[in-house]
Chains A and B, each alone.
Chain A
Amino acid sequence: MREIYLSGYNNFVLPFMLGMLFVLTWCIVGAVRIILQLPHQDRKAFFLSLVNPKIMARNIRDWFCDCLFHVKLWKRNKMLGYMHSSIAFGWFMIIVIGHIEVFLYTPERVHQIWYPIFFRYFVAVTDSTMKGSFFFFLMDFFLLMILSGIILAIIKRVRSRMFGMRRTTRASITDLIGLYSLWSIFPLRLLAEGFTADISGGSFLTKSLNWVLHSFLSDQMNMLPTWWAYSIALGVFMCILPFSRYMHIPAEILLIPLRNAGIHVSHARKGFAKLQVYSCPGCGVCIDACPMGTVKSNIKDTTVYLNRQIKRYNEKRIEEISDKCLLCGKCTAVCPVGVEGDKMRIAQRSIRKYNISPDYSNIDINQGNLSKNIFVSTSNNVVSKNKNERVIYFAGCMTALTPSISKSMTQILEKCGIDYSFMDKDGGICCGRPMWMAGRFDQAKQMIEKNTEIITKSGADILLLSCPICYKIFKERYRLEGIEILHHTEYIERLVKEGILTLEKSGSSYVFHDPCELGRGCGIYDQPRKVISGLGNLVEASQNGKESICCGGSLGSLTLGFDKRKTMTENALHNLTIADPDVIVTACPLCRSTFNRYSDRPVKDIAEIVEEQYRKRVNI
């Protein structure tokens, strides 16, 4: 080993140093600001999480899996996964090995930040020893890995379908500058190291390139411009980074521990929300996922564009994008970094100013039928009464418009001999979720209070819900001590498991549509499938479970008119009927009526098919 230059410095490191200092300052200031913007409790939770070994272990796992290996992208598409992880992991390894080399060969240079980056220019290491050739090989290997990733990235620009993406994001100017500087960094590094390889040493890639170059460029001085170019590319990339989508690289490093500390979006633009905006890599996976994408003009209303507009403070567009969204949560489910598109939009809605604010203090829950819950023991001869729990059934506003669901559900309860009370038979107070989705939290909280009072007063053990929209807010925001909250899919599955309700297989085939709020919203995927499997042949939709497609009827969207939703429903129906089922089964009154409008085959709620089959059997 020998150092070629005693000073260990050359002017070409300046562009790199400038960029490095700039980006470091930016990121540190940004991180501090974001942490300061967090609400007090969240900040405390964050600091506590950093000393919690379990959470730290999860952080480290996530840093590696998400930032470097892009595991989620691998699962989506192998090519896409390889492209991203080869660049991220390869670059990471080059930096790490560069530092190891500095530590091993020139430990006194550690404080010179540029040293590991331009190591080959300053230090010549022999490649004849085992140690030397090992590092040379590794460096070349990872450089090759990155270059292969970059070639794929270039192909992806023209043929995104090869990577499982139908549509990709339209890059902004800064994104393009970032993109081209990023693409040029590694070929330039290869060139620079290739020129230097006869002095500094190299391995299969750099050495071979050196031979080729020297066959027609013998002048040693050629190498300096390439090192300059390499440094400039790095400098440009780092200077443009905060203004481009590549900001996601540093932002995600902070996002992961914050998310693992259990922090949620609490302000539309500050703290965690801001971090999410900057963590958006602009990959555009959410564009294909968005159910509104069936109408081409809606593509600009996907989460990736919301984040871009928030960065640009384009208030008009932010409002349009956040109000149009169906809040189905699919973009959140597929996002490789975990940007919560639905929650971000609700947060944007929450900062809106209204001159008229509803208020429910005048509603007296003791008046009328609101809280007259009488549990009737409906034990009959068909099934012996063997449960002594009391069920309060809250069908919800939407179920009032699809009486087939509530009728089937009450029939099931009666047949099973369960003590129940139909809380909102004569109307009730809304659960608050639609108001919450509109971002008017104070109003929603008032409704939550009223309903909590009614339900607690009733003395029930189980709160049974038919509407996933209600179910989500009851699960998330209601404090109902001692009362179990169940959606009817869960309850039916439990009745079957306990042997109170028996199912019999018929010859029909069913497909289950996962309602957004039940599936992605509350994680209920298996229970309905178990019940349906007991009734007939369960087939699956093309995209299901976490990736099920919103029916288009969602209350989440504030501005999408009725006529604008048709194509979305038709697209969702197409997805469901891929395996040509006899019946489409869902578990949401809104999905049921939306699909029923356009479907060519029967659309039924899970409660209906269970009840129908039961009735048929008893009649025989």
Chain B
Amino acid sequence: MNVFGFKISPSSAIDMDKVDRARFEELCRVEPDAVRCMACGSCSATCPASAFSGMSIRKVLLMLQRGKEKDAFRMMRNCMLCGKCTMVCPRGINTRHLILSICRIYDDKEGKQ
């Protein structure tokens, strides 16, 4: 990767016009609290997997809403489902079930294409 290059990478910008919201809406039907995140970052700070794969359920939620699914899946790779994020969330989001629901509703393989 050319770090100092000035090439505009088309994938780095978020284009809300092209975001497919269908699956996120499906996710919200299973876990309606998903939209209640206020991005405080408690979950990411406490997450034991963040040291390994940069896991942050806050960012995963944001990436899914912004159509950056690949980034989300990469972070989720090391999630241990330990539940610390559920414990610290000030909005009471059931993050463990949210993660499991993401694993069921989204498909990693499609993201890789």
Contact = CB atoms under 8 A, between A and B. Distances in A.
Q: Does a CB–CB distance below 8 Å link A and B in the complex?
A: yes
Interface string A409-436: 0000000000000000001111010110
B87 A401 contact: yes
A262 interface: no
B47 to A, nearest CB: 9
Interface in B55-79: 73, 76-79
**Interface residues on chain B, size class:** 20 to 34
A354 B109 CA distance: 12
B52 A358 contact: no
Interface string A546-569: 000000000100111111000000
Nearest to A428: B48
Interface residues of A, number: 37
Nearest to B50: A427
Interface in B20-45: 33
Contact of A563 (B48, B84, B92): B92
Contacts of B82: 397, 430, 434-435
A558 B83 CA distance: 10
Contact of A558 (B51, B79, B96): B96
Interface in A387-405: 397-398, 400-401
Contacts of A357: 103, 108
A292 interface: no
A355 interface: yes
B73 to A, nearest CB: 6
B87 A430 contact: no
Contact of B81 (A356, A400, A440): A440
B80 A362 contact: no
Contacts of B79: 358
A360 interface: yes
A353 interface: yes
A323 B82 CA distance: 16
Nearest to A355: B107
A468 to B, nearest CB: 14
Contacts of A397: 48, 82-84
A447 B78 CA distance: 10
Given A356-B106, A429-B48, A558-B100, A434 B92 contact: no
A368 B81 contact: no
A356 B46 contact: no
Given A401-B46, A429-B80, A558 B97 contact: yes
B81 A562 contact: no
Contact of B80 (A323, A401, A447): A447
A435 B80 CA distance: 7
A102 interface: no
B33 A561 contact: yes
Contacts of B78: 358-360, 362-363
A368 B48 CA distance: 13
B80 A434 contact: yes
Contact of B104 (A352, A401, A555): A352
B108 A355 contact: yes
B83 A593 contact: no
Contacts of A358: 76-81
B103 A555 contact: no
Interface string B85-110: 01111001010110010111111110
A438 B88 CA distance: 20
Given A427-B48, A427-B51, A354 B104 contact: yes
A434 B78 CA distance: 14
Interface in A203-242: none
A354 B78 CA distance: 15
A369 to B, nearest CB: 9
Nearest to B108: A356
Given A355-B109, A559-B94, 6 more contacts: A430-B82, A434-B82, A434-B96, A555-B86, A558-B97, A561-B33
Interface of A: 323, 352-360, 362-363, 368, 397-398, 400-401, 427-430, 432, 434-435, 438, 440, 443, 447, 555, 558-563, 590, 593
Give the 8 A-B residue pairs with the shortest CB-CB distance, closest first: A562-B92, A430-B80, A430-B82, A355-B107, A356-B103, A354-B103, A397-B82, A356-B108
